[in-house]
Structure 1
Amino acid sequence: MRVALFATCLADTVYPEAAKATVRLLERLGHEVVFPPEQTCCAQMHVNTGYQREAVPLVRRYTRTFAEAEVVVAPSGSCVGSIRHQHAIVAAAAGDTALADAAASVAARTYELSEFLIDVLGLEDVGAYYPHRVTYHPTCHSLRMLRVGDRPLRLLRQVRGLELVELPAAEQCCGFGGTFAIKNAATSTAMLADKMRHVLSTGADVCTAGDTSCLMQIGGGLSRLRTAVRTVHLAEILAATA
């Protein structure tokens, strides 16, 4: 299968290993991965902060860039959630029905990584090896918008050498929420403190998730506490073989 990679802004600028790992994994599974260089932001930041008019050009660019793709895969439940649930609405609100229809078509072919592996490829064991004690944080958008459910956990359970430990109060938000962490810093910090306490209680070496945004929030807090716990994107674990 020919898969188009949507790297996302955070992976492109801050966490490139998540995107690189997605490519390694899919190529190891026998698929051709292409990276359309015209891609930019999914417009989630604009829409979520009330700038819907400014989001329209980004929706148009995403739709045009991936119009011919058989499938699009992104290592981000948050961005895929935006594409699926916001793009057509934003275009329709701007009065561009043609764009709304095209955006809906591309969105239907856009998948978060764990969705693609399980729902499209029918895989749970991807041949990964990762000898660490790992806990999983289900990010808000993947959990509540995409409803990926236990797909990431099913994939992690098949990773050789990995000891998966349950995260207490896993469904609670980490406090990032994009600009929420800036506009409501005190509340965000309190939520992060709860999340870090739960992560540390597991005794895990690694906290993983399907969104680099949440890993940035959790990882930043853990590093400031000088803990030994690392944050690693799900794609990096699934791509590891040694």
Structure 2
Amino acid sequence: MGVFAKSCTTCVLLASLSISACTSTSSTTSSSPVDALQLTSSSAPLSGGGALQVVKELPAPQDTQNGNEQPLSPNDVLEVNVFQVDNLNRTVQVDAGGQISLPLIGTVTAAGKTVRQLEQEIETAYGVNYLQSPDVSVYIKESIGQRITVDGEVTKAGIFPVSSNSSLIDAVALAGGFNAVGDAKKVFVYRNIGTNTLVANYDVEQIRAGKSRNPRIYGGDKIVVFASKSKIAMNNLKDALGVASSAARLAVVPGL
């Protein structure tokens, strides 16, 4: 009977701690703006103009060609190589006006063009008066426009460089994955399209399982991982059980 009573007391303690943890979580964890937006409507005005719109899938940025390549931006650092003409090779930075300066041909507008477009323009410029069938390669060494922000419940939030074919899974990996309360089902990607900001919710568990498409990530995207309420409740429960267990051990120490 004593064992039975003790067992029942433990069950009641677990139940009460669980309810307390859930109550504590719901009172301290507010709904995110995206959660609220999904409950009310598919869009909401932004203070700076435009609107925040919830979409199922994010379109590619407007300044990409069929979603394949982003244009160069001011402050990007480029390496320009002319095949078999080493004295024309240069590492240059796109200036605030979007231009670069190269030997013989002078200034060339780079911002707003893709790497391939810039290569072709430089080849044409050198081919007019200086070289016969020039072969020019342009490489991006540093790209301001090719950076993303990863925030929320990840191991290391921050700003990270991305390549031209980075995916959402790659972005999560750059941030060290989810932390203890991060919810793989609540990964929101924000993207500026014109004056509007579009946001879509992706389930990384489904993506990893091969059940959903792994979306491409573009420079300028912001990825936010929200917390799992159930994980927070479980952590609160574990903490509460730890406190209760410590108190029980102290109670049996003689003299206390």
Class of the TM-score when normalised by the shorter of the 2 chains: under 0.3
Give TM-score scaled by structure 2 length.
0.25
More strand by share: 2
TM-score, structure 1 length as denominator?
Answer: 0.26
Give the number of the structure whose alpha-carbon radius of gyration is greater: 2
Q: Which has the higher helix share?
A: 1
